[in-house]
Amino acid sequence: MAMSFFKVLSLVSIVVMAMLHSSFDVTSLSVNEEADVLLNWKATLQNETQATQPPLPSWTLPNYATNSSNNQNTSSIPCSWFGISCNQARSVIGLNLTNSGLKGTLHGFSFSSLPNLAILDLSMNGLFGTVPIEISNLSKLTLLDLSFNKLLGEIPSQIGLLTNLEDLHLAENQLNGSIPPGTGQLKSLTFLSLYANDLHGRIPASLGNLSKLVCLLLNNNFLSCSIPASLCNLNNLVYLYPHHNQLYGSVPREIGNLSNLVELNMKNNSPTGHIPSSIGSLEKLTWLHIYDNLLFGSNPPEIGNLKSLFSLSFQFNNLSGSIPTSLGVLSNLTVLHLNGNLLSGTIPKELGNLKSLISLQLDANQLNGTVPISLGNLSNLEVLFLCDN
d(CA 211, CA 369): 49
DSSP 184-238: GG-TT--EEE--SS--EEPPPGGGGG-TT--EEE--SSEE-SBPPGGGGG-TT--
Which residues does 52 contact at the CB level (< 8 Å), separation at least 6?
none
d(CA 64, CA 325): 79
**Predicted pLDDT at 32:** 77
**Predicted pLDDT at 24:** 40
Which residues does 108 contact at the CB level (< 8 Å), separation at least 6?
40, 41, 43, 44
First vs last Cα of the chain: how many Å apart? Answer: 37
Dihedral (CA of 293, 296, 300, 304) sign: positive
DSSP 78-105: TTTSTTEEE-TT--EEEEE-TTS--EE-
Are 137 and 162 contacting, i.e. CB atoms less than 8 angstroms apart? Answer: no
**Predicted pLDDT at 23:** 43
| Residue 175 belongs to domain spanning | 2-48+55-385
**Predicted pLDDT at 75:** 64
**Predicted pLDDT at 319:** 97
Look at the chain and report how many structural domains it folds into.
1
Q: Which residues of the chain have pLDDT under 50?
A: 1-2, 5-6, 8-9, 12, 14-16, 18-29, 68-70, 72
d(CA 54, CA 1): 33
Are 130 and 108 contacting, i.e. CB atoms less than 8 angstroms apart? Answer: no
Compute φ and ψ for 33, nearest 5 degrees: -70, -35
**Predicted pLDDT at 48:** 59
The domain that holds 278 is classified in CATH as: 3.80.10.10
**Predicted pLDDT at 22:** 46
**Predicted pLDDT at 76:** 78
Are 377 and 354 contacting, i.e. CB atoms less than 8 angstroms apart? Answer: no
Residue 67 half-sphere exposure toward CB, CA atoms < 13 A: 7
**Predicted pLDDT at 77:** 87
